[in-house]
Amino acid sequence: MQDAIIERLVEERVASRIHAKDASLYGFSAEARECAENFMGWADLPSNPPCPLDEIKQLAAKFADAGTESVLLIGQGGSTQAAMTMTKFNKANSKIKFRVLDSDSPVRLRKTLAEIDPHTTLVIVSSKSGGTLEMRSVFCAVRNAFAETLPTDEMCKHFVAITDPGSALEAQAKREEWGGILSGEPTVGGRFSALSVFGLFPAAVSGIDIDALIAEGLDAEQDCSEDSEANPAIKLAAFLYTNWRNRRDKFSFFTQKRARALGLWIEQLVAESVGKDGVGVLPQLEVSPLLLEKDLGDRAVVAYRVESGVWDDRDDFLRCLTCFDPDLPRVDYSIDGVEELGYHFVMWEYATAMLGYLMQVAPFDQPDVASVKAKVLDLLDAGLPEPDFIDERATSIGPIEVRVSDCCSTASDVRAALYGLFSSIEPGNYFAMNAFLPFDGYARKAALGRIRIGVAAHCQVMSCLEIGPRYMHSTGQLQKGGSNTGVYLLISAGEPKDIPLQGVPAKSLGELSKAQAIGDFMILSERGRRCLHLHLPDNSTITLQRLAYLVDEVLSGL
């Protein structure tokens, strides 16, 4: 079947038509075609960059010459994912310490602020619309912290805005005379913006050669726009589509630590682009190779080898690959240097656009992301609703607010609710833990990982650990708009030391995080999804470990 799909894509000239921005490819609905007409500017970014590279490099050099030692990027989704991918890949080679704040956790914010000096830090505020709620809230808190040590005029010189023309963020940056303003291209959607200014300026300021990055992207643009069976994007799209047709509607992304952020970028690109209209392809970043020892019949594997100067790292990765079930369909790639990411960004963007064409799904919108944004704003305006019940005695964790969907609606305590949720998992389903929690600190992430891996091993399904609110701008689209095969455990927690906000809808970062968890749960539940929301009394390591032990006990009783 895969060869036939390749032939079809070549015969129907899909690659060259995408490069020509032919919106008729997506004429299967008026809405899809209109969206394509407005958002296909990404297809020739390497050959026709809307923001001159010299302008980007000059602004980056200005901050380097001023003694910048660290960069803090504030944004969400497509405004940060590509930049995070490149800077993490290049971390060992960069003199600049690069951090991304796409979390509204007070714990994460305090840790970040403790590691930087406002006098030598550049803050990049990145948002296409200029009004993203998380960006506004986190920037408000960062700005308040900077104002404690820097006069307003000097402080604003440390800020750079990346936003589309005419946005409120652009107007603020001009009014306050920020250190720089870079304009996005309105016809390039966030998740397709890797080689736009949203990705290129953070790359340049962290020391990456963006000329070489674009050169790699240009090679990919030329290869991926050819109607040829050798086209790498056609091969990748055919691989993903063939597996989807064969009920393998998921794929595990497996790589070394250096390139795991690429998996997060691919996760958003694919899940948000084709996860709608009751269908979808779910990418998952897998860190436990033993979970791929057995072919469950519902997934494929995408493996990336990256260059490493350590023999043990290379050897360990290759040994992991040997444990995968040989029946798992798999495609292998390799990347030697950070500049090669430019080629792979373009290849995946073209392949995803082709996948949308094959699946008859509009790849450039995200209607269910917008629905949650609206719900969260409504909750912040009207006040957060009461839980279905509070469990104060069934666990040693402390009082837990519980919100249940139909699959566990008869439960009156946390154990019963978890039992109802896990009992609803069927073969071919997937489990996602949507955690509005900090991953910083001693063993927090390990406790959450234990839950994810425990459910995967016991229920024999793919499982994902999703970071809130990041996933709401990524796999959140597929969770609500894709097929009803997901089972979701949403977790949020009280903040013993919250951070107050002014001038934004939320009174504090903790309130914002809780509202997002509740809002996402409500939309999932309204869509008939199997979901459960637990709001813990705090996010301490011991609380999360106790929750992990409780989940172990419930799973053992299934």
46 is a domain residue: no
Indicate whether 200 and 101 sit together in one domain. Answer: yes
pLDDT(65) > 70? yes
- Average pLDDT on 429-453 reads 93
Indicate whether 440 and 345 sit together in one domain. Answer: no
- Average pLDDT on 132-159 reads 96
Indicate whether 476 and 534 sit together in one domain. Answer: yes
185 is a domain residue: yes
- Contact yes or no for 309/315 (Cβ under 8 A): no
Cα 106 to Cα 108: distance, rounded to the nearest angstrom: 5
496 is a domain residue: yes
pLDDT at 378: 96
313 is a domain residue: yes
- 157, 174, 208 - which closes a domain: 208
pLDDT(372) > 80? yes
pLDDT at 310: 83
pLDDT(194) > 80? yes
- Bond before 367 cis per omega within 30 degrees: no
The boundaries of the domain holding residue 462 are 367-556
- Average pLDDT on 125-153 reads 96
- Average pLDDT on 24-31 reads 93
- Contact yes or no for 267/34 (Cβ under 8 A): no
410 is a domain residue: yes
- Average pLDDT on 454-468 reads 96
Q: Collapse the DSSP code of 505 into the 3-class scheme (helix H, G, I; strand E, B; otherwise coil) and give the result.
A: coil
Cα 453 to Cα 289: distance, rounded to the nearest angstrom: 11
pLDDT(395) > 80? no
- 208, 229, 261 - which closes a domain: 208
Indicate whether 349 and 408 sit together in one domain. Answer: no
Indicate whether 376 and 522 sit together in one domain. Answer: yes
pLDDT(393) > 90? no
Reported as a single tens digit per residue, the pLDDT across 77-104 is 999 999 999 999 999 889 999 999 999 9
45 is a domain residue: no
86 is a domain residue: yes
Write the CATH number for 296.
3.40.50.10490
pLDDT(311) > 90? no
- Average pLDDT on 34-46 reads 96
pLDDT(439) > 90? no
Percent of the chain with pLDDT over 70: 100
Indicate whether 201 and 219 sit together in one domain. Answer: no
Q: CA angle 114-98-125, nearest 5°?
A: 90
Which of the four pLDDT bands, split at 50, 70 and 90, describes residue 120? very high
Which of the four pLDDT bands, split at 50, 70 and 90, describes residue 313? confident
- 324, 359, 394 - which closes a domain: 359
pLDDT(292) > 90? yes
Indicate whether 384 and 497 sit together in one domain. Answer: yes
Domains held by the chain: number: 3
Q: For residue 124, which of 158, 82, 76 has the smallest C-alpha distance?
A: 158
Indicate whether 443 and 546 sit together in one domain. Answer: yes
- Average pLDDT on 268-283 reads 97
**Upper half-sphere CA count for residue 316 (Cβ side, 13 Å):** 14
Q: For residue 505, which of 372, 385, 377, 384 has the smallest C-alpha distance?
A: 377
pLDDT at 394: 67
Which of the four pLDDT bands, split at 50, 70 and 90, describes residue 307? confident
Indicate whether 204 and 219 sit together in one domain. Answer: no
Name the one residue in this structure whose structure tokens are 């691989």.
239
Q: Would you say the C-alpha torsion 153, 159, 160, 161 has a positive or negative sign?
A: negative
| Average pLDDT of the chain, as a whole number | 96
Indicate whether 375 and 395 sit together in one domain. Answer: yes
Indicate whether 228 and 300 sit together in one domain. Answer: yes
279 is a domain residue: yes
Indicate whether 71 and 203 sit together in one domain. Answer: yes
Percent of the chain with pLDDT over 90: 94
